[in-house]
Amino acid sequence: MYSNYGFTVLAESVQRESGIEFGRYLTEAVCEPLGMVTTRLDGGPAAAGFGATSTVADLAVFAGDLLRPSTVSAQMHADATTVQFPGLDGVLPGYGVQRPNDWGLGFEIRNSKSPHWTGECNSTRTFGHFGQSGGFIWVDPKADLALVVLTARDFGDWALDLWPAISDAVLAEYT
């Protein structure tokens, strides 16, 4: 289950417990250790679900950390990238009702959803996220591959067939 507000609540909790402004915490705990020099979060905890800016290069580094985590514990990574609420139905924007609409703690899980924004060749273990800003990131642990796509167009009908085709082409080339 996804909620921008859920990320706000999480960021507020991290800020309260750490005593560090969330944007600074994110920089110190994730961006600096990974060398992500252009990524930032403006707007404090309220912007945690929508206010980050980054580059393809920085997000590729982040995707690499999602593939082989160094900034979080193995347990936290597993909780974020495996199904946490089995059987929960929901709507996948642009792709309709999914039964189930599996999510980890922060990442959508591909599982057997169809239609889907990742490709048909992506494994059921693929996890990631896409946004209304027209970009996406996925990690396919089975293929040992990640993909980051940023665009200058808001998410819309143009992406529905194109994104899965891009994903399948990347997997065909690199696996």
Beta strand ranges found along 15-144 (DSSP E): 40-41, 52-53, 90-92, 96-98, 108-109, 127-130, 136-140
Q: Give bridge partners of residue 103 from the DSSP assignment.
A: 108
| Same-domain pairing of 47 and 131 | no
Yes or no: say if 49 and 8 are a contact pair by the CB < 8 Å rule.
yes
| Same-domain pairing of 22 and 107 | no
pLDDT band at 1 (very low <50, low <70, confident <90, very high): low
Enclosing domain of residue 29: 1-54
Give, rounded to a whole angstrom, the gap between the first and last alpha carbons of the chain. 30
| Same-domain pairing of 114 and 174 | yes
**Cβ burial 146-157 (10 Å sphere, 16+ → b, else e):** bbbbeeeeebee
Rounded to an integer, the average pLDDT of 109-115 is 96
Yes or no: say if 49 and 7 are a contact pair by the CB < 8 Å rule.
yes
User: Using a CB cutoff of 8 Å and minimum separation of 24, what contacts does 22-25 make?
Assistant: 22/48
Say which CATH number the domain at 88 has: 3.40.710.10
pLDDT cut 90: percent of the chain above it: 84
Closest CA to 163 of 139, 127, 132, 130: 130
Burial class (CB in 10 A: 0-12, 13-18, 19+), 109: buried
Total of domains in the chain: 2
| Same-domain pairing of 68 and 117 | yes
| Same-domain pairing of 50 and 88 | no
| Same-domain pairing of 72 and 141 | yes
Of 34, 54, 74, which residue constitutes the final position of a domain?
54
Residue 135 structure tokens: 């970009």
Q: State the Cα–Cα distance between residues 15 and 19, nearest whole angstrom.
A: 5
Residue 94 structure tokens: 């642009």
* Helix locations, the chain, DSSP H: 4-18, 22-26, 32-34, 56-67, 74-81, 157-174
| Same-domain pairing of 32 and 81 | no
Per residue in 120-158, pLDDT (tens digit) is 999 999 999 998 889 999 999 999 999 999 999 999 999
Q: Give bridge partners of residue 127 from the DSSP assignment.
A: 109, 139
User: What's the mean pLDDT when you consider all of the chain?
Assistant: 95
For the whole model, what pTM was predicted? 0.93
